[in-house]
Structure formats: structure tokens, C-alpha cells
Amino acid sequence: MKNISGAEAVIRSLISEGVDVLFGYPGGAIMPVYDELYKFEKEINHILVRHEQGATHAAQGYARSSGKVGVAIATSGPGATNLVTGIADAQIDSTPMVCITGQVATYLLGSDAFQETDIIGISTPVTKWNYQITKASEIAEIFAKAFFIAKSGRPGPVLIDITKDAQFEMVDNFKYKKCNKVRSYISIPETDSKSISDAAALINKSKKPFIVWGQGVILGNAEKEFTEFIDKSGIPSAWTILGLSAIPTDHPLNVGMLGMHGNYGPNKLTNECDLLIAIGMRFDDRVTGDLKTYARQAKIIHFEIDPAEINKNVKVDVPVLGDVKKTLKKILPKIIKKNHSSWIEKFRELNKIEFKKVIDTEYNKTSGGLSMAEVIKSINQNTNGESILVTDVGQHQMVACRYTKFNKSKSNITSGGLGTMGFALPAALGAKIGDQKREVIAVIGDGGFQMTIQELGTIFQTKAAVKIIILNNNFLGMVRQWQQLFFEKRYASTEMINPDFVAIAKGYFIESSKVSIRENLNKEIIKMLNHDGPYLLEVIIEKEENVFPMIPTGSSVADIRLE
């Protein structure tokens, strides 16, 4: 290819990686790239967000719904630093993302020039890899390496910082070659065949085995192998919130949600199983509770792609390293087909207690203010488990994850490890662009919604048909619940005086409505779902509703409370 500028080399590198969507916000230090992007608008669709944080969350939503690498772009200084929250979120939730930032010219580095920030130093703890390009000749190689690292092995975010002079500099004979190997970087560890045999032996002799699975099943595209594994082994299986939707909600061996607000049965019986099989999950503290009491009676098998996760939080007896799609395929012929019906019945009995004390009163409420669970019930009735649900962080997130029915994988998109309020609105936009054939419903609390409310402008401009439900209780609900239970009802800075959300949506030319009466809820949700285009529905819910079950912080999973 003829000599081209570094800025054009950036665009051609992206096209070579199959990138057709960028989420970003222009500025001085990245302007040469934007100038070239203007010339390639037929090849790459640039989504102009209203805040750089929105670009990263939209890229995350896009990656999670499409299975591709999400890409965000911003200028130097505040543009770059505004990406950091989304980058940290992607790092802890293993989301493949490449972020591109402009930087001041090379000769100005370290001089505190206008809008200069050391984004390499800032982002190092929250990226899988980062690199600063100061020569145009580096662009092709670094971009190829970045995309490989972002999507290989355990996925994660990568940041490329490009000085302005490198964007203007010419590249001689530009050539792009995709990367499939990086020296000293082992993306997928080798699987020890003995670990497969040892794991199979433990599974075959176990009387009360229990599977806990996470997002690794989805990231590894191992849903088919995982289903075959649980069907043959007959083992009851529970999920983390990021693992949700890997198998259908109504699968007979799906016994529910783990964690602080998970289901009664799987949490209680974690400390009664004789074998715990962890698949593609990292033993997060929200799942384990007090580590001193977590599954102490059980042998533990851990299927994991990242060696750093083995024995990090929980000591395991048999680590099975490798690509979970391949390791599950290898172990399947070695396990005996079983039916653990009496053991599974224990889960059902405990979950019946939860249904009577918690679920029935929330999900089938007939008087008083609307509950969050009633909203999810209506969504279930009208989407048949086919939609993508995007949630923010808080009470509504826990309720939505607990009650939403799913039939397809890649259907639950939420901020898990970082717990980022403001995630849902831009992530829903990205999810819709990533999978335009499916309905995308964002369920958001009134607090989190206002953290990225400006992205309504992006939704309006793109005309992305995102359906937005605000569950409004005029409180920072999860914090208020903790204040009620553990701080003697001292509601310090959690009550909110909210604006007119319907009027704001209409100001962005987005159709909207509000509901507070139970009899009108279902018809308003149907109206929202039937609308051709984006729609915002504000639902006024019970002001001081709590989410149960609940494991108090630092307590054992067996100490789960129903009230």
C-alpha cells in the first residue's frame, strides 16, 4: 500500500480486525484519527456518545451481546481519564475491549502540556495490557497485538495511547497482519490430563455434588458442552449473576442464583455438598461470604482458564486448567451418568420455603405499592425469555437477576465485579447495536439512571430501539436497605428528590410514560414493547422495599436471611 498517515493506519488497522462500530468522543489530541474516520464512514459507524464513560460502557454492552471486541475512542487528558471507570469494569468482568486515546505530541510528554495525562500509568492496574505509540511505524503491530490480547484466553480491556505526531507521521508501505501469538503470553494454559481423570473420579464417587458456574461458560462459548455435562452428571447447578443465561432458566438442574441476594437452596446447601465443582467463576466474595466457613466440608474442583484464579480465594483439590469448552468435552466420556434426585429435592424444598416467605409476596403482590418483582413478572410474560436484559447496580439489579426468565445465552448484561452505577443506559445502547435482532430492555434504578442520563441523547441520535424501565423509589435503594438493617434506619444521604423523567425523555424526543397503578402496569409494558423505536417507562415502586434473601456482609452463606 502507498504511504499513508499514522491516523489512516489506525483506521485501516481497525477495518482489518473487522471493526465496524466505534463508540467515542472527539478532541484535539485524537483529531487526526477522526479526520480519517470521516473518510471511512461507510466502513466504520462511529457512535457519538455524550460522555467518554458512556463510550466504554457501550463498548462493553456491544461486546457482551455480540461476542466481538468492543472499541472505544477518546482524546487525551480528561477524555482518557473519563474512560477509566469503564475500563476497570471491563477488567474485572473479563470483557474484551480496545480503547484508543490520543496523546500530546512526543516532544511535550512529561511537560504538563494542555490536556496531557499519563493514561498509561493510570490505566496499568485496570488493563490486561497497554501501550503508548510514539512512531507511526508501530501502529499495525501494536493494534494487531492489542486485539489478540483483548479477545484471547481470559478476555479483558487493552488501551492504546497514540501521540499526536505519530498520527500525522507517514507510514511507508503499510501492511497489516493479524496476531495469533505473543512471546511470553500464554493465553490458554495446557490442560493436565491427570487433572481430568482426578476430577472425573471425584465426580463419579460423589453423593452430594454441586456445580457453581460463572461467565466463563459464556465467554468460552461452552454452553453446549456445559449442558451436556450437567445432563449426564445429573448434578444440581447454580449461577453467578454473570453466568446467568448460559442455560435456560427452566432447565431442571438449574437450582438458582448464588450470592448475597441469591436463592435460599443453593446458598444453604453450599455448606452441605460433598463436592463443589466451580466452572468459569472466580469465587468472588459476594458468592462465598465468609471464606473461613465456605464449603469447608467439600472437595473442590475448579475449571478455569486463568491460572491466577486457582487457589486465589478458595483452596481447591483439583484444578482443571484450560479452555472450558475443551476441558468439559474431555471429561464428559469419563463421568458416569447419574441421577441425584434425592439431593436435588433438598434444593427444591429449601427453595419452596423461599417461595412462600419471599417470592410469592413480591412476585404475586396484590395490594400496596408496586414491587420490583411485579415489573419483572410482566416483562417475563411479554417477552417469553427471548430478550436481552441490561441492568444497572442496586436493588433492581438483584431483583431482575433473580426473577427474569431466559432461554438464550448472552441475555443478561450487568456490571458484576465493579458494581458501576450508570452502566446500564450506555451498555443497553451498545447491546442493541451489537445484536439488532433482539429486544433490549434496560432496567435501571432512579439513582444509577441519573449518572449517565445524558446518553439519552446518543440513543435519540442513533435511533437505537432500546426499551428503558426506570424503577423509581426516590431512594438509593440498596444503600438505604443496609442503613435500615445495619445502621438503625439512619438514612444518611440516600433519599432522592428526582426530576420528571418522562419530561426529560420527551426533551430528547424519546416516547415515554409513567405508571404507578398495578392495574395499568402490564398494558404499559406491552405499549413500550410494541413501540417502534426507543421508549422510556417510569415505574413508581414501593419506597422502602427490601431485597431478600440476604447474606449479611462477612457472614457464612449458610446464614442467609429470608427476612
Active-site annotation holder among 128, 145, 151, 164: 164
Q: Which of 8, 17, 36, 52 is catalytic?
A: 52
Give how far Cα 452 sits from Cα of 144, 458, 472, Å: 32, 11, 16
| Residue tagged active-site, from 40, 115, 272, 461 | 115
User: Helix/strand/coil (H, E, C) string of 171-203?
Assistant: ECCCCCCCCCCECCECCCCCCCHHHHHHHHHHH
Q: 223: Cβ–Cβ under 8 A, 6 or more apart, which residues? A: 217, 246, 247, 409
Backbone torsions φ then ψ of 223, nearest 5 degrees: -60, -40
Helices (H), 206-315: 216-219, 223-233, 264-270, 285-288
Spot the catalytic one: 1, 39, 114, 352.
Answer: 114
Q: Is 478 a catalytic residue?
A: yes
Per the annotation, the verdict on 115 as an active-site residue is yes
Question: Residues 6 or more apart from 528 whose CB is under 8 A from it?
Answer: 467, 469, 513, 535, 537
Domains annotated on the chain, with CATH: 4-171 (3.40.50.970), 193-347 (3.40.50.1220), 369-540 (3.40.50.970)
pTM of the model: 0.96
For residue 475 the three cell numbers come to 431512594
Report whether 58 contacts 49 (CB < 8 A): yes
Q: DSSP per residue over 393-458, as a string? A: SSHHHHHHHHH---SSSS-EE---SS--TT-HHHHHHHHHHH-TTS-EEEEEEHHHHTTSGGGHHH
Please tell me which residue in 97, 398, 421, 478 is annotated as part of the active site.
478
User: pLDDT (tens digit, 0 to 9) for every residue of the chain, 563 residues total?
Assistant: 679 999 999 999 999 999 999 999 999 999 999 999 999 999 999 999 999 999 999 999 999 999 999 999 999 999 999 999 999 999 999 999 999 999 999 999 999 999 999 999 999 999 999 999 999 999 999 999 999 999 999 999 999 999 999 999 999 989 999 999 999 999 999 999 999 999 999 999 999 999 999 999 999 999 999 999 999 999 999 999 999 999 999 999 999 999 999 999 999 999 999 999 999 999 999 999 999 999 999 999 999 999 999 999 999 999 999 999 999 999 999 999 999 999 999 999 999 999 999 999 999 999 999 999 999 999 999 999 999 999 999 999 999 999 999 999 999 999 999 999 999 999 999 999 999 999 999 999 999 999 999 999 999 999 999 999 999 999 999 999 999 999 999 999 999 999 999 999 999 999 999 999 999 999 999 999 999 999 999 999 999 999 999 999 889 999 999 98
Q: 292 catalytic, yes or no? A: no
